[in-house]
A and B are shown apart, each in its own frame.
Chain A
């Protein structure tokens, strides 16, 4: 077919996988170029540290390289990469929270603090607050928020990436948002809304 002659940049993910497995140089690199920000973003928002996120990103692509031959194409490449990324990031985040007693460092926002217009500075500060709040969630809560609200996966996609049932995603994402809402001042800290006690009231 003529598809495999198409320039690499316009090849679909599936075509890239095929072409890589057929031995074409540059196909795998295109996969990295195309998806590294996505993988890094998941890792950064879940781990909280750019160094950790970089390690995770590298791990993910090295794994992808080694395992691409058995990637059956039943799932989308992005689905597979999301799964690798979030699980690697979760493992690292859990280990960090278990061992380190110091709070996770703030995520340095990509737009380094430039003296700019007022709104920009305010927005940057709010973003830092939100990121700090995210890092105060448990890694599991962070993961569902990142996958759904930042990576735009639906509940089924989140469930698939994490290997948990749909009901778990539903419950976890709600509790995560309630906790975030409290941390960010949208709810009173002791608002009792995340429990299902409410559901038992007549």
Chain B
């Protein structure tokens, strides 16, 4: 008698993704196993059913709506919506889980970058200090560079577009960002990352750095179109998202 192979190999076999020894073993096993052959038939039937679905084609009306929508996004900004809340996100997982204070900075100048220069992000509090990670020191440096406009590259971009286009789709519902007392959870993180595409933020600087030992994208945004004006730092990695908000004034 032969042992059943790992069951998922059956689909791989049908899909032509099984090679070499694994394939040979499966093929040797099949003649003697009605159960596996039955599963194989079921898999093939399911594949056939799906393959028989008609091709999807957009209708003329949908195409017109698509073209209009793209044109609209390309040419204009959507009206901004004021931010309704200040999000606090605490680092999860660390035993010494220092809560990250979302810095509330009073920006007196219309140009938020100038205000950042004069206000030290003193409340920024990061757990990890190792130089291999994005430490508080580096955060300050990055913020200083952001404020001074060094290496600034401007492009109209939204945070979600930036993250997603780099292949990062923060795990919805799987994020580890939680904060006590603020009602924030992965859903809130998700919602923030998915903000209205019509409120473009200016990407002032982006970095790829290690954040808590994991490769992450750091995006520094100026959101001049929003009221109140603010600057934001987004940290995006495949498993979760962290956002530091630097707001002009406390929001409810």
- A residues touching B (Cβ–Cβ < 8 Å)? 32, 36-37, 40-41, 44-45, 50, 54, 57-59, 61-67, 69-70, 83-84, 87-88, 90-91, 94-95, 98, 109-111, 123, 126-127, 130-131, 133-134, 145, 148-150, 154-155, 163, 170-171, 173-175, 177-178, 180-181, 184, 186-187, 191, 193-196, 198-199, 201-202
Q: Which residue of A lies closest to B51 (CB)?
A: A149
- The answer, yes or no, to whether B195 is at the interface (CB within 8 Å) is no
- The answer, yes or no, to whether B39 is at the interface (CB within 8 Å) is yes
Do A110 and B54 touch (CB < 8 A)? yes
Chain A contact residues, majority secondary structure: helix
- Partner-contacting stretch, out of B67-75, B132-140, B225-233, B241-249: B67-75
- The answer, yes or no, to whether B152 is at the interface (CB within 8 Å) is no
- The answer, yes or no, to whether B21 is at the interface (CB within 8 Å) is no
Do B165 and A198 touch (CB < 8 A)? no
- Across-interface contacts of A193 in B (CB, < 8 A): 7, 35, 38-39, 42
6 A-B pairs closest in CB distance:
A174-B11, A41-B56, A181-B42, A87-B169, A174-B8, A67-B165
Do B3 and A201 touch (CB < 8 A)? yes
Query: Which residue of A61, A111, A163, A194 contacts B169 across the interface (Cβ within 8 Å)?
Result: A163
Bound-state Cα–Cα, A54 to B190, Å: 21
Bound-state Cα–Cα, A74 to B164, Å: 17
Q: A194 and B7 in contact (CB under 8 A), knowing A88-B164, A127-B53?
A: yes
Q: Would you list 28 pairs from A and B whose C-beta atoms are within 8 A, ordered by A residue?
A: A32-B66, A45-B53, A58-B66, A61-B70, A62-B161, A62-B197, A63-B164, A64-B165, A65-B70, A66-B157, A69-B155, A98-B187, A110-B55, A110-B59, A126-B49, A127-B52, A127-B54, A130-B50, A145-B50, A163-B169, A174-B11, A177-B43, A181-B42, A193-B42, A196-B8, A198-B4, A199-B3, A202-B1
- The answer, yes or no, to whether B63 is at the interface (CB within 8 Å) is yes
Inter-chain contact total with CB atoms closer than 8 Å: 175
Quote the shortest CB–CB distance from B162 to chain A (angstroms): 8
- Across-interface contacts of A32 in B (CB, < 8 A): 66-67, 70
- The answer, yes or no, to whether B47 is at the interface (CB within 8 Å) is yes
Question: How many B residues face the partner with a CB closer than 8 A?
Answer: 59
Q: Which residue of A lies closest to B11 (CB)?
A: A174
Q: Which residue of B lies closest to A111 (CB)?
A: B54
Bound-state Cα–Cα, A155 to B14, Å: 12
Bound-state Cα–Cα, A186 to B46, Å: 8
Do A130 and B53 touch (CB < 8 A)? yes
Quote the shortest CB–CB distance from B188 to chain A (angstroms): 13
Q: A98 and B8 in contact (CB under 8 A), knowing A32-B67, A127-B54, A181-B46?
A: no
Q: A199 and B50 in contact (CB under 8 A), knowing A91-B172, A154-B17?
A: no
Q: A199 and B161 in contact (CB under 8 A), knowing A62-B197, A150-B53?
A: no
Quote the shortest CB–CB distance from A52 to chain B (angstroms): 12
Q: A180 and B49 in contact (CB under 8 A), knowing A41-B56, A67-B165?
A: yes
Do B54 and A58 touch (CB < 8 A)? no
- Across-interface contacts of A154 in B (CB, < 8 A): 15, 17
